[in-house]
Structure 1
Amino acid sequence: MSRVGVLALGPAGVGKSTFCNAIISHMQTIGRRAHIVNLDPAAEATEYEFTIDIRDLISLQDVMEEMDYGPNGALIYCFEYLMNNLDWLDEEIGDYNDEYLIFDCPGQIELYTHIPVLPNIVKHLKNQLNFNLCATYLLEAPFIIDNSKFFSGALSAMSAMILLELPHINILSKIDLIKNDYNKKKLKQYLNPDPLLLAKEDESFNPRFSKLNKSIAQLVDDFGMVQFLPLDCNKESDSVATILSYIDDVTQWSESQEPKEPKDELEIEDDE
């Protein structure tokens, strides 16, 4: 059976840890097992404990205190340390060969836009540990339903998609925070957006940047892969199940499962 890993990415505060917990909770209800791999050296476990925790190797607080670094410098130091000690990660992951691993990543997107830390970790997981990986990129729905912010978020999602070179699923989180009926209706156009139409409709853009805005809209449209799945982590919502089905498809989870032997007639009679 091949290994399957899911990376939870996106800006700080977007709900990545909540998403990881929701996936774990849903998988438990349907009889599947999964584990959270915490790659954020400043994170604390919330609903579910971390099975693998980078803080067992190095923590942000320790680096800040011992090296007298600020938060961003300390974070980069932590990941440089991890890159020099990937054998620790290999050993930790080695005990979980046939189960879903959900990698909860830091919210500092410069780790894959400016510094190739996460891309290098992804290559290691794929090439050395034989993982089928999928990247999920979260953006807040209340943030994204503003046209100018939509383009900002779309560009960051595209950047992650290109740099990580993984099957990629964009997710709009916190849709339960959208209470206004007008905004709920407006949200639908952002799930499968028409960037050119959104740019044309928005009159709030500064006319001085009109040409730039149209060029960005054209780029997003030409790329043709910026679509979003809604995420509502309320237990009665089926959005988590839908997202998991997409992840299963792109990681080929079903194909990697060992086929079950059919019961013969004698076994069936015994069961009855």
Structure 2
Amino acid sequence: MVFGQVVIGPPGSGKTTYCNGMQQYLQLVGRKVAVINLDPANDSLPYDCAINIEDLIKLSDVMNEHSLGPNGGLVYCMDYLEKNIDWLESKLKPLLKDHYFLFDFPGQVELFFLHSNAKKVIMKLIKKLDLRLTAVHLVDAHLCSDPGKYVSALLLSLSTMLHMELPHVNVLSKIDLIESYGKLAFNLDFYTDVEDLSYLQHHLDQDPRSSKYRKLTKELCEVIEDFGLVNFTTLAIQDKESVTNLVKLIDKTNGYIFQGIDASAVEFSKIAIGQTDWDYYRYPFQ
């Protein structure tokens, strides 16, 4: 069984920086890490890349050949990767024995809550290679400084969770820079716990752009609260303690912390508390 992370999030949320910092951290704690770049537009990689999708297909070539824009080109690239999944499998198989995987995906958010190609790629890998993956969804912490953008980030996170159907960790990245974005309307815990969004309504009403959508915003907030799935952990990628806490959380969600436990003991513990495999690895301590 092989473990890893699927790193996703909007453009500018820090995915590539995250993969670089996470690779260095995990190597320092003794894990062999393979970073797989699946972003065909990312031609400047700061990390040591084990597999690069640009060896299969490049966004610039797709745009020129098919007269597509960057968004359409990325969808085409993900479709092409899905159709040629054997290429990626053959690259991954030599690394299965002793590596921990970091999959660096493109920042086009439609790939993770609207289109199914990226999800199909991940699910095929999980099924064929017996991977245990956690989706790490990065959201730039500066969105907390704008109530409207924060609600949008919550909707995106919820939609992505429901669409991807993976153990999922939402992360407010660049938290060390949050003070430079301006004063927050509430304490940071309000934005990480996502417990009562009605408090945002007053601040949304102060913005003339948002006030005319008051009823819609109220309904959207109720949808988020009714699902009760979204919360955030925080990350400053250069802070050791912050990264350590995040790694511990990810290791719980994908079951990495249980890899040394005898399989029969794990199976007995699941039966004893009536959990399915999905529940056990997503919520191992509930």
Deviation string 1:195-230 (CA, Å, 9 cap, x unpaired) is 433334423254442222111111111111211111
Of Structure 1 and Structure 2, the greater helix share is in 2
Aligned to 1:43: 42
Secondary structure of the 1:94 match is helix
Q: Does the aligned pair in 2 maintain the 1:178–1:184 contact within 8 Å?
A: no
Aligned to 1:212: 216
Q: How many residues align?
A: 257
Paired AA for residue 30 in structure 2:
G
Aligned to 2:109: 109
Secondary structure of the 2:179 match is coil
With over 3 angstroms needed to count, the CA separation of the structure-2 counterparts of 1:30 and 1:184, relative to structure 1, is farther
Aligned to 2:152: 152
Deviation string 1:143-184 (CA, Å, 9 cap, x unpaired) is 233221111000000111000101110000111222358439
Q: Does the aligned pair in 2 maintain the 1:195–1:220 contact within 8 Å?
A: no
Secondary structure of the 1:225 match is coil
Deviates more, 1:247-256 or 1:73-82: 73-82
Q: Percent identity between the aligned chains?
A: 35
Aligned to 1:262: none
1:258 Cα shift? Answer: 7.5
Q: Distance in 2 between matches of 1:30 and 1:20?
A: 15
Q: Does the aligned pair in 2 maintain the 1:199–1:213 contact within 8 Å?
A: no
Deviates more, 1:243-252 or 1:67-76: 67-76
Paired AA for residue 223 in structure 2:
L
Q: Distance in 1 between matches of 2:75 and 2:201?
A: 40
Deviation string 1:63-93 (CA, Å, 9 cap, x unpaired) is 2223332222221221121111111011011
Deviation string 1:82-121 (CA, Å, 9 cap, x unpaired) is 1111110110110111321110000001112221111111
Secondary structure of the 1:42 match is coil
Aligned to 2:197: 196
Deviation string 1:4-44 (CA, Å, 9 cap, x unpaired) is 12111111111001111111111111111211111100113
Aligned to 2:70: 71
Aligned to 2:95: 96
With over 3 angstroms needed to count, the CA separation of the structure-2 counterparts of 1:208 and 1:61, relative to structure 1, is closer
Asked if 1:254 corresponds to 2:257, the answer is: yes
Paired AA for residue 204 in structure 1:
Q
Secondary structure of the 1:115 match is coil
Q: Does the aligned pair in 1 maintain the 2:145–2:183 contact within 8 Å?
A: no
Q: What is the CA RMSD across the aligned residues, in angstroms?
A: 2.0
Secondary structure of the 1:52 match is strand
The structure with the larger Rg is 1
Secondary structure of the 1:35 match is strand
Aligned to 1:169: 169
Paired AA for residue 23 in structure 1:
M
Q: Does the aligned pair in 2 maintain the 1:199–1:217 contact within 8 Å?
A: no
With over 3 angstroms needed to count, the CA separation of the structure-2 counterparts of 1:37 and 1:257, relative to structure 1, is farther
With over 3 angstroms needed to count, the CA separation of the structure-2 counterparts of 1:196 and 1:65, relative to structure 1, is closer
Structure 2 length as normaliser, TM-score? 0.84
